[in-house]
Amino acid sequence: MAHALAARLTTPRTAAVLVLLGAAATVGGALIFQHGFGYVPCKLCLTERQPYYLALPVAAAAALLPRRLAGLLLGLVAVIFLVGAGLGLYHAGAEWGFWPGPSDCGGGAGPAPAGVNDFLKSLETTRPVDCTAAAWRFLGISLAGWNAVISLALAALAGTAALRGLRRG
């Protein structure tokens, strides 16, 4: 039963849709944390989103193409998410102090000031976001760590489906 479910989930079309949904939910969650809860992303956080932005249209195309072409695109998606997992692992390691983070780490923009006076006042309290300090953790894992886990899972799903699509083209 579990094998049949796994086989069904890793058909190229189904996997492409699942990767598309997973990637959209992940980057959507990051945007909600940023714009809904006020968490200002650091430089690495913003860099970690790039594989998602790249993989979304590729996964969408894979969902629409014939099995062999979908398999090729899903192979590309797997590589994209392996790079994303590496970025997340690097960021999480910097947060835990396993290695230094980038020396030029600063964050994205916070809420826009309403006027010049508000802007000048915000300069007194604004500090760049530090890539080595986790802003939030769940189950002891930072958002960067969760990004690594999610990226690995999406890479595994896409890679498995890619192999199936190319084998049974």
Please check whether residue 5 lies inside any domain of the structure.
Answer: no
pLDDT at residue 148 in the model: 94
Closest CA to 105 of 79, 85, 131: 131
Please check whether residue 71 lies inside any domain of the structure.
Answer: yes
pLDDT at residue 79 in the model: 97
Q: Structurally, how many domains does the chain consist of? A: 1
Give per-residue pLDDT as tens, 8-56.
656 888 999 999 999 999 999 999 988 888 888 888 889 999 999 999 9
Domain span at residue 115 reads 10-167
Closest CA to 132 of 91, 95, 106: 95
Please check whether residue 3 lies inside any domain of the structure.
Answer: no
Measured CA to CA, the distance from residue 117 to residue 150 in angstroms comes to 42
Measured CA to CA, the distance from residue 145 to residue 55 in angstroms comes to 19
What's this model's pTM, rounded to 2 decimal places? 0.77
Give per-residue pLDDT as tens, 76-127.
999 999 999 999 999 898 888 888 777 777 544 555 556 666 666 655 555 5
CA 81 to chain centre: 8
Please check whether residue 1 lies inside any domain of the structure.
Answer: no
Cα-based angle 73, 5, 18 (whole degrees, multiple of 5): 35
Please check whether residue 19 lies inside any domain of the structure.
Answer: yes
